[in-house]
Amino acid sequence: MRALFIRLAGCNLRCPFCDTKYSLDPRAGRPVELEEVLARVEELKPSLVVATGGEPLLQRRALNALAERLHERGYTLQLETNGTLPAPEAGEPLYRAYHVVSPKDVPVAVPGARTHPSWVSYARETGRAWFKFLVSGEEHVKAVERYVEENGIPRERVYLMPLTSEDMGPEELLEAHRRVAGLALGSGFNFSPRLHLLLGLR
């Protein structure tokens, strides 16, 4: 799918496995006007607009303004979040967007990370949230199983993605993908590759 990524600078976590460390400092970004972003969207006409980070919900007001304008123009907005900040409430333009929540307290607990409980209710109410977990082996998958069962999250709403590190070469990356794809098949979860790494894109 032709997706346009809008990467917002700044994050409230510091995950050791983060593959976008350049985005963590809010001052690392370049201030842009909403109109500039919209002009780029109109120029490229993507099938999907993805807001990611860092943690994009740290700029919630700007995201709501973006969501409103994109929806008016018939674009689909997908937000990628670590889930530590509250889910959108009915009435916020972001409520109508799609959300990929990547918890950072399960299966690997990052210091300071706690998935906000509103994401589970948002997923139930709207059907527009999916959960993506970074895993490397069976123990991680068991922790994910416990979490989704405790929270009543259906397995078809859950993606497993390989937990990788910057020093992995192409063979190690492929091996991690094969392993996690097998674990997903065996447990009834979906599998999501780290396509940008497999393609050598950073």
CB 8 within 8 A of CB 32: no
Within 13 Å, how many C-alpha atoms sit on residue 106's CB side? Answer: 24
Q: Which listed residue (59, 82, 136, 164) binds ligand SF4 by CB under 6 A?
A: 82
Residue 28 C-beta: closest distance to ligand SF4, Å: 12
Q: For residue 14, state whether it binds ligand SF4 (rule: CB under 6 A).
A: yes
Closest CA to 8 of 19, 44, 24: 24
Number of residues that bind ligand SF4 (CB under 6 A): 12
CA distance 62 to 196: 27
Which one among 15, 41, 144, 180 touches ligand SF4, defined by CB under 6 A?
A: 15
DSSP bridge pairs for 49: 4, 77
Site residues for ligand SF4, 22-41, by CB under 6 A, read 24
Binding to ligand SF4 by residue 103, rule CB under 6 A? no
Binder among 13, 100, 143, 168 for ligand SF4 (CB under 6 A): 13
Q: How far is the CB of 195 from ligand SF4 (least distance, A)?
A: 16
Q: How far is the CB of 166 from ligand SF4 (least distance, A)?
A: 12
Candidates 104, 116, 132, 177; binder of ligand SF4 (CB under 6 A) is: 104
Q: Which residues bind ligand SF4 (CB under 6 A)?
A: 11, 13-15, 18, 20, 24, 53-55, 82, 104
